[in-house]
Amino acid sequence: MTGIRNQGPGISLPRLNRIGALCAIAAASVLTGCRQDMQDQPKFVPQRGSDFFTDGRSARPQVENTVARSQLHEDAYFYTGMQGGKEGDEMPFPVTMEVLERGQERYNIYCTPCHSRVGNGEGMIVQRGYRPAGNYHSPRLLAAPLGHFFNVMTNGFGAMPDYTAQLTPADRWAVVAYIKALQLSQAAKPGDAPAGVQPEPLSRIAEREGLPESIATDWAMPPTAVYGTPNNMDNGVPAAVSPAPGKGTP
């Protein structure tokens, strides 16, 4: 077979062009009617309300009984420090030297400004007028269960803010372990030292290293320390904290 096949009687070319043009105009007018630019998408900006939901919130609560990634807090004690509604008294993981060192590092960063390196609650911020922070060597805190320290860091306590944003649960437990070490160290007796180690009194170290004698005695709060809130508002904390025996006077 040769030549061009007979196409039969079809639509002539000029007519086709006309229909095409009409379609294009129709399509253009329809599309411009519902045009939406990318920079103008329907979405909820964080924290913005919505009248779509009856509670007016655009951020929706998690669907009941669903657990998002990293939210499966199976080990409740690890995350709360509470056992049966009470503060527990055990570590949720074994305390190694590494844990203690991590705890010491975190403690020195986050807690010393108020609690001081030895944990007597007379850190620099307190000396400059913040409410006296807890003294870890007071009889009540010496007897407090481990979960109490975790709880205080997790939920805050009186004038003390919580440290959940700064410290992961594992870090909070590491700090708990270090506070226990601090408590032991501050009440240590010569007999607590391992055999063969001869403990040296602080006063002698101070003398040898040319440090002021006061370094070996109890700290006193400087006159700059301020007790209570500036306008004596009741914040649920006694206005003046009575100092532990031998400690500084307000």
Shortest gap between Cβ of 244 and ligand HEC (angstroms)? 13
Q: What token pair was written down for 191? A: 């007999």
Rule CB under 6 A: choose which of 88, 102, 104, 115 binds ligand HEC: 115
Q: Does 237 bind ligand HEC (CB under 6 A)?
A: yes
Q: Does 226 bind ligand HEC (CB under 6 A)?
A: no
Q: Does 216 bind ligand HEC (CB under 6 A)?
A: no
Q: What token pair was written down for 178? A: 């270090």
Rule CB under 6 A: choose which of 95, 100, 142, 160 binds ligand HEC: 160
Neighbouring residues of 178: CB distance < 8 A, sequence distance ≥ 6: 100, 103, 104, 106, 107
Rule CB under 6 A: choose which of 116, 122, 163, 182 binds ligand HEC: 163
Shortest gap between Cβ of 136 and ligand HEC (angstroms)? 7
Contact between 244 and 135 under an 8 Å Cβ cutoff? The reply is yes
Q: What token pair was written down for 83? A: 């056992």
Q: Does 175 bind ligand HEC (CB under 6 A)?
A: yes
Selected range binding ligand HEC among 35-43, 91-99, 145-153, 212-220, rule: CB under 6 A: 145-153
Cα-based angle 39, 42, 45 (whole degrees, multiple of 5) = 85
CB nearer to ligand HEC: pick between 161 and 201:
161
CB nearer to ligand HEC: pick between 168 and 203:
168
- Per-residue contact flags (x/-) with ligand HEC for residues 68 to 107, judged by CB under 6 A: ----------------------------------------
CB nearer to ligand HEC: pick between 214 and 235:
235
Rule CB under 6 A: choose which of 157, 181, 220, 248 binds ligand HEC: 157
Contact between 181 and 100 under an 8 Å Cβ cutoff? The reply is yes
Can you give the length of the chain in residues? 250
Tell me what percent of the chain is helix, strand and coil, each rounded to the nearest 5.
40, 5, 60
Burial of 26 (0-12, 13-18, 19+ CB in 10 A): exposed
Site size for ligand HEC, by CB under 6 A?
21
175 vs 239: CA distance, rounded Å: 28
- Give, to the nearest 10 degrees, the angle between helix 146-155 and helix 169-186: 130
Q: Does 111 bind ligand HEC (CB under 6 A)?
A: yes
34 vs 32: CA distance, rounded Å: 6
Residues in contact with ligand HEC by the rule CB under 6 A: 110-111, 113-115, 125, 130-131, 133-134, 141, 149, 152-153, 157-160, 163, 175, 237
